[in-house]
Amino acid sequence: MENCIFCKIIRGEIPATKIHEDEDTLAFLDIHPVAPVHFLLIPKLHIATLGDVDVQHQQLLGKMLWLVPRLAASQGCTDGFRTIINTGRVGGQEVFHLHIHVIGGKDRLPAMIHHG
C-alpha cells in the first residue's frame, strides 16, 4: 500500500527500531511508548484492520499470536504483558495496517478501561 506508514516501514522508507523480522511479520518499537516496553507486531501483508481478516489469514494470525510472548520475553517481559488491537473508529485505531500492541514493564499496568 503506497501511503500506509507501516508498509513504508516494511519497505524501509521510514526508519524504525526493529526487534524482529521474518518473511511474514515485522516487530518494531512504538514511536510514542506508553510503558517501558511498547512494540508493535504487524503482518507484512497489508490488512487494514482486524475486521478485514479473512479465513486465509488464519495461519498468519496464529503465527503472530505465537510470536507475541516470545518477542515480549526478548524485550524483558518475563512476568506478563498486555496485548491490544485497536479496531476501526470506535476502537480508536489510528494506523490502518493491522498491528498488535505489546505493552509491559516491571510494574503492573493500570486498568485498561476506566469505569465512569
Residues annotated as catalytic are 99
**Residues between 6 and 65 with contacts to Zn ion, criterion CB under 5 A:** 6-7, 46
Minimum CB distance to Zn ion smaller for 87 or for 105:
87
- How many angstroms separate the CA atoms of 5 and 7, rounded? 6
Q: Smallest distance, Å, CB 42 to Zn ion?
A: 8
Q: In the 8-state DSSP scheme, what is residue 67? A: H
- How many angstroms separate the CA atoms of 70 and 1, rounded? 28
Minimum CB distance to ligand 5GP smaller for 57 or for 101:
101
Interface pick for Zn ion out of 43, 97, 99, 100 (rule CB under 5 A): 97
Compute CA distances 105 → 9, 55, 69, 83, whole Å: 25, 34, 14, 13
Q: Smallest distance, Å, CB 26 to ligand 5GP?
A: 11
